[in-house]
Every structure is written in C-alpha cells, then in structure tokens.
Structure 1
Amino acid sequence: MGTGIKIEVLYGEFANLFGELQNVNYLKSCIPDAEVIYTGLHDKPAFADGGADFVYMGSMTENQQELAIEALMPYKEELAAQIDAGTVFLFTGNAMEIMEMYIENEDGSKITGLGFFDTYAKRDMMHRYNSLILGKYEDIKLVGFKAQFSHSYGDNSNSYFYDVIRGDGLHPGVQTEGLKRNNFFGTYTVGPFLVLNPLFVKYLMTLLGIKEPKLAYEEVIMKAYRQRLSEFEDEKLRYE
C-alpha cells in the first residue's frame, strides 16, 4: 500500500543553486512511491489547495527572490494555513529570506517579504560569506555549508531551527540558525542539506507519517555522515 505522500518543489526552474534539488531527489529515493510536483513560477502552488505534504524551495539569485515573493504573495493566507496545519516545509539557502519581513539592499531600499517571521535579511553583495557549520536540532547533529551574500537579523530566539555548535547562525556572532514555525524549517545551510544529514531525513519522514522510516543507500550515506561529522567536530578544522 502506497504512502500517498506528495512532495512539491517550488520554482525548481531557478531555485536550484548549489545542486539543492538533490534534497528532493534523495527524499524521493527514501519514499519511492511519493509523487513529486514541480510547480513553475506561474503555476498555482499545490499547497494552496492542500495538495502537498512536503514543500521544498532552494537557493536562487537575488532577482529571483523578488519573483518568488511576487508569485507567493497571492497565496499568503493559504501558506499560513498549511504551516499551521502541520504541512512540512523546507526552504534552504536564501529561500528562507522570502518568509521574513523584508530584504534590505545595500542602498537601504527594502523588498517586502511574506512576513511570517519578525526578522529581516540584509544584503552585502561585495562580500560573499563562506563557512562550514555544525549544529544540533533536538538530538540530531547537523552539518553543512554556507555560501551567501546576505544575513538575517532580528530576534529568532523563539523561532529558530537549530542550535549552532561551531560556525555562525543567522548572522556572525549568533548561535541560533534558521527559522522554524510548526513544521516549517528554513535555514541558510546548504550541502545539499538533506543529503548531508540523513538522520534529519528520517525525522522528516516521521513528520510525514512514516512509522518506520528507511533511508535509501543507508549504509553508504550514514558512513559519509559519520565521517563528515568527525571532521567537523575536529577542533583543528577551520570553519571560514
């Protein structure tokens, strides 16, 4: 008997920097009978009618962020309803920023966001931030990378995704990374994030109602995870 799980990819035609669509490909490998819906920029999102169990959006260029905000703004109420209902969302890289109050350009101009969090992003296009990151969500250690021209600011103390062990959170000097509301998870962390963190994939699968989640290529992917975790925990490793 199939799971009936529907995975929606938002704007995969451009929100796919850093190979982040591999997050969806790996999740699909773990749930072979799941249906993947690719929603284009001018399509009505499947989540708007309750037609998605897991919604993913990856990194994009700064101009494309504005396109994504414009496309989702008419469905803001439906988006809020699905988040409150427990639908699982994962936005990686700068996709997370469209859920904030606004994105500030270097000249001080602001792009209005969807406003789901009381934080804002600030761009610095002349300085690219690259770093490793090691963190922990509940009892799961997370590893990944950051490659971005912007950081987020504001109080996320009651709405953050995970605690940072090494590296920086929303911005340098902060030890809380990402944004979380119910089952919405947003993080600057890329990797691809799910490929690097198979234990979190299992956690997401339980949120999707899978009682005994099994990882695709479990032996290989867990070996790679343990190796990377060991490297990231090595105090000799430079993070920037």
Structure 2
Amino acid sequence: MKIEVLFPEFCNLYGDISNIDYLKKCVPEAEVIYTAIDNEPAFLTQNVNLIYLGPLTERKQEIVIEKLMPYKEKIQELINNNTPFLFTGNAIEVLGKYIEDEDGTSIDGLGIFEVCAKRNMMHRFNCLYMGQYDNIEIIGFKSQFTMLYGDNSKNYFMNTQMGIGINDTTKLEGIKENNFFGTYVIGPLLILNPLFTERLLKTMGVEKPEIAFKQDVIAAYEERLRKYKELTKK
C-alpha cells in the first residue's frame, strides 16, 4: 500500500495535510511517499494506491503546473486506469484548461478536465458545505479566491445541499472521473467525513477498512451533520 503526497512543502494550506495524517492512522502499514517539488513523482515508476495534492497559493499553482506538465499523459493514463486521486481545495485547478487572472491574462493548466478557473483576489469566498456523493452525505468548508467554470454535469463529485458547486451558479461540486476525486471542500475532508474515508480506503484496495478513532469521528460527523441540516431549515 503506497500513498504519494505531491509537494507537501507548500501544497498544505488550511491544514489539509491532516488528510494524510489521518490515512496513516487508518492504514498504519501504508508507505507514505512525500514527493518534493525537485523530485521525480513516484507515480511515474511505482504503483501507487493514492495520489494526493492539497491546497496551495496562486503562485505555487504555476510552479506545480510547470512541474506536472511533462507528466500530463501519464496522469491521464492513471486516471483512465482507475488509480485513486484526491485533490482538495484549489488543487483541482491545475488540471483544468487554464487559470485566468482579474486582468484577463491566463496560465495554461494541464488540460485534463474541460474546466477553467477564474481568480478574484479581492474577494475570498467562504461557506459551510454539505453535499451528496452516492449515498454518503459530505460536509466541510470552502475558502477560495477562485471558482471553476465549465460543464461538469457528467463527472461531478457531489450534488450540493448547502453552499455552492464549482461556482455560484451551479450546485454540482467538484470532479469525479473514475477514481479521481477533486473538490474545493476542505475540512480536512477525510477527518470530517469518516464514511467517505471508508469508501476511499476501499477504492485504494483496503479490503476491510478500519477508520481510526471510529466511534469518535462518527459521533462528531453525525453531530456536525445535524447542525448543518438545521441551518438549511432557517
């Protein structure tokens, strides 16, 4: 069992690196590979059970795009072959067609997904989030300067019940393509959503997943979910 964390030295905003800390608690035997920006990604030469990229600054997005661009075809191949990915926060934007600044200039993304991002650095959007993935209710937060635009109706991750989707005109949140999961939702996602974490572990190949601190995290999840649902009634 191998988990690769891409560029943890700066793709770690909002404490989302705790997603990996929690996975390590759930699967203690897993080998976690922390790939620095100057190193070659392990997914090029090794079979990896999960590839993770966390939230990052706008400047670092450009560095990550430049780093990953030579591996675009390999990343697409891995997605096509059902390798699990988890991209949280604005990490999903590096795989879109481009990222546009307020002045109209843009930088090309990897172009794997038919979406584009638009920045609005003077207005940070924040909200509580609740959505449905399959039969799992997912909760968390959003805090972002950018939004995604494009048609994700055939490959969205969640149907939003509270908050917004990839932008403020849609309820369809994130990208799910085979076993690729990309979402603006932070939290950290895996700690706040033990049922989804259990599903992800199965996707990664864990036959009988045992989530860490199960009783406590499920109790916290159920209480937070209850409070979120109360807010939707107001």
Same fold (TM over 0.5): yes
Task: Give secondary structure in 2 for the equivalent of 1:235.
Answer: helix
The equivalent position to 1:175 in structure 2, one of 171, 176, 187, is 171
| Change in CA separation of 1:56 and 1:237 when aligned onto 2, cut-off 3 Å | farther
Name the counterpart of 1:109.
105
Which residues of 2 match residues 19-98 of structure 1 at below 5 A? 19-98=15-94
Name the counterpart of 1:160.
156
Q: Deviations over 1:138-191 (max 9, x none)?
A: 000000100000000111101111110111000013110001111111000000
Match of 1:185, as an amino acid? F
Rounded to whole Å, the distance in 1 between the matches of 2:45 and 2:69 is 15
Task: Give secondary structure in 1 for the equivalent of 2:139.
Answer: strand
Asked if the contact 1:17/1:59 (under 8 Å) is kept, the reply is yes
Once the two structures are TM-superposed, the CA of residue 235 in structure 1 deviates from its matched residue by 3.2
Instruction: In structure 1, list runs of 5 or more residues that go unmatched.
Output: none
Instruction: In structure 2, list runs of 5 or more residues that go unmatched.
Output: none
Name the counterpart of 1:195.
191
Match of 1:82, as an amino acid? L
Rounded to whole Å, the distance in 2 between the matches of 1:234 and 1:47 is 43
Match of 1:199, as an amino acid? L
Which residues of 2 match residues 118-129 of structure 1 at below 5 A? 118-129=114-125
* 1:213 maps onto 2:201 in alignment: no
Asked if the contact 2:164/2:170 (under 8 Å) is kept, the reply is yes
Match of 1:59, as an amino acid? P
Task: Give secondary structure in 2 for the equivalent of 1:222.
Answer: helix
Once the two structures are TM-superposed, the CA of residue 213 in structure 1 deviates from its matched residue by 1.1
Runs of 4+ in 1 over 4 A off after TM superposition: none
Once the two structures are TM-superposed, the CA of residue 236 in structure 1 deviates from its matched residue by 6.0
Once the two structures are TM-superposed, the CA of residue 51 in structure 1 deviates from its matched residue by 3.1
Rounded to whole Å, the distance in 2 between the matches of 1:63 and 1:236 is 36
| Change in CA separation of 1:237 and 1:27 when aligned onto 2, cut-off 3 Å | farther
The equivalent position to 1:99 in structure 2, one of 76, 95, 105, is 95
* 1:145 maps onto 2:141 in alignment: yes
Rounded to whole Å, the distance in 2 between the matches of 1:99 and 1:237 is 36
Q: Deviations over 1:97-155 (max 9, x none)?
A: 00100000000011100111111000000000000110010000000100000000111
Asked if the contact 2:53/2:91 (under 8 Å) is kept, the reply is yes
Task: Give secondary structure in 1 for the equivalent of 2:176.
Answer: strand
CA RMSD of aligned residues (A): 1.1
Task: Give secondary structure in 2 for the equivalent of 1:18.
Answer: helix
Match of 1:126, as an amino acid? M
Name the counterpart of 2:6.
10
Q: Deviations over 1:195-230 (max 9, x none)?
A: 111100100111112221111000111111001100
Task: Give secondary structure in 2 for the equivalent of 1:52.
Answer: coil
Sequence identity percentage: 48
Asked if the contact 1:50/1:82 (under 8 Å) is kept, the reply is no
Alignment size in residue pairs: 234
Rounded to whole Å, the distance in 2 between the matches of 1:38 and 1:211 is 24
Asked if the contact 1:231/1:237 (under 8 Å) is kept, the reply is no
